[in-house]
A and B are shown apart, each in its own frame.
Chain A
Amino acid sequence: MNKSSRFYHFINKEKNVGVIFCLPFIIGFLVFLIVPMGISLYYSFCDYDILSPPEFVGLKNYIEMFTQDEVFWHSVKATFYFALVSVPLRLIFALLVAMILVRPTKATGFYRAAYYLPSIIGGSVAVAILWKRMFAPDGVINSLLGLIGIETNFAWLSDTRTAIWTLIILAIWQFGSSMLIFLSALKQIPKELYEAADVDGANKFTKFFKVTLPLLTPTIFFNLVMQIINGFLAFTQSLIITQGKPMDTTLFYAVYMYQQSFNFNQAGYASAMAWVMLLLIAVITFILFMTKRFWVYEQE
């Protein structure tokens, strides 16, 4: 057997083919996920400013984070507030609109498109800078309020009560993708269930709470988990629109992590923050899964 036919034999062996096809992922997973995670785990136990070599300090970063760094706690608070308020509101909103749009009319396709567009461009820098100008004292929000008789030059972005709400509204505005998911889930509910409910004399509300909602809970659950995870790491919008101001009320975790690493050159500390966030996400996902059996309807 010569060399090339042996090679030919090797790559066509049943058990090797799958591995060869999956090689890109195997390499990518190791080189771009596992190695950086490993490096950062080590650095999280170091004083490291990127410029000079890392110096091992044990648990110092973690201890400092939990006991001395007030800004860290501000960022945790802002992040929880944002994720736990904006995600449920967005899902409720998406479900409401999906219930309205599920009714077939000639213009439904157009309406769906109109509601869906913001969610595909909402994450861009273009929208972030637009949002920043809209909520400025001389922005379009205040001038529209003037139109309905409320003359004001309120600075939405510099008030500790309203700044985070501008970001929450921006998140809710992007409800379109969730709406599309609910629309296709609604269509999968068998018509017979509603017919049976009609026979039993159920009204619209009963039908919604006893048929529609229970059958949607698996979809709601999955989207709740995924969106809360992403909500915990909101970055671009806060960095551009509010820069964490005022008084750290919009300083999201990811933004603070960025500042620690790239503005204050505390790469060791930032690595520790990344690991704490990873643990936090794992815990929250676990808690959400624990609640699953109380409210998520599992079909046999």
Chain B
Amino acid sequence: MVQIPLLERLEILADAAKYDASCASSGSVKRNSVGGKGLGSTDRGMGICHAYAPDGRCISLLKLLLTNHCVFDCHYCINRKSSNVKRARFTPQEVADLTLTFYRRNYIEGLFLSSGIIKDASHTMELLIETARILREDNDFRGYIHLKTIPEAESELVARAGLYADRVSINVELPTDAGLKRLAPDKNRVQIEGAMGDLGRAIVEAKDARKRFRHAPRFAPAGQSTQMIVGADGANDSDIIKRASGLYGTHNLRRVYYSSFSPIPDASAVLPLKRPPLIREHRLYQSDWLMRFYGYNAGEIAQAADDDGNLPLDIDPKLAWALKFRERFPVDVNRSAREDLLRVPGLGVRGVNQIIAARRQRGLRLDDVAKLTVSVTKIRPFICTVDWRPSLLTDRADLRKLLSRPEKQLELFA
């Protein structure tokens, strides 16, 4: 067989990998290359986005598929068996070399490697692990590695992946069982969640071991994440949020990513042709944020949804919740507890922290609040200060209209 040139294979296999939303290189341990023979460093805190594509997404990791050959036939996936896409494959050595070439020029933070299933799940998993091994052992690479693990592979292999990778992930793919059955006939939920459970336990055990033995090996120090596809099946936003919340709870996930189903070339006939509006994915991320940093639970997010179980698209979920529970407002910025301040639409974690610090000095006036926030007009109906009470504003029937931004021409790009 004639080998396709490297450049072309890179195009094919990067193109195939772009439907994975995650590109995060954050949350690992602090590590650097001083005193080693290789290169690379990671930070405990935030990762670095080395470029942004015109789709607004960060390019932090070299995101590749080892191969886009696949024996599975998941309808939403461009690499499914029955798809007409051009196929290509890399050897583990080639991927490792590309990673190092890019890393040395400061293009990337590391590697995000996934793969179509060739031969069988375990064989594929072995190739993924071999790539990570070449990087870590042969080249002393200390940058970030994210391995997508294959739930159908032997659990011993999944465990080995965690020893090389900073983060491991398994995609749950679809928020409902019915969706999974219909669109991903070769996958099943029990197996996916079982593998996630195994990974979760391995992560916790390794953390525990580190506490007692200084030289215990690290296992996926940046934890595990997953991805759900939005808009390919009938699940509404409440279903999705509840599922995500369940996953955060049971498997101790670092992140759940939501990926708007986007029309893929050579789509399968059972899929909707048009993608859901991008703003829907954005609203889901906002709710995810509310759950992780603002103390909302999944039930409360569901309360913010409209009757069809979907979050309103014209206003953000926090505002939607506040409009439904107006009796909880106004909140007194000078007296109220942190949890209550965090519920004020338009006030972020940073703003709340600054208000709490500043109010220890003196009673805050509306002007002061205006200085600490982006838009005081948006917050005004929900707070009182020394010199401001919203009186009737909070109860106005057309408050939603007053606060929602005029319909932006988002659909221009749809």
A binds B: no
B residues apposed to A, CB below 8 Å: none
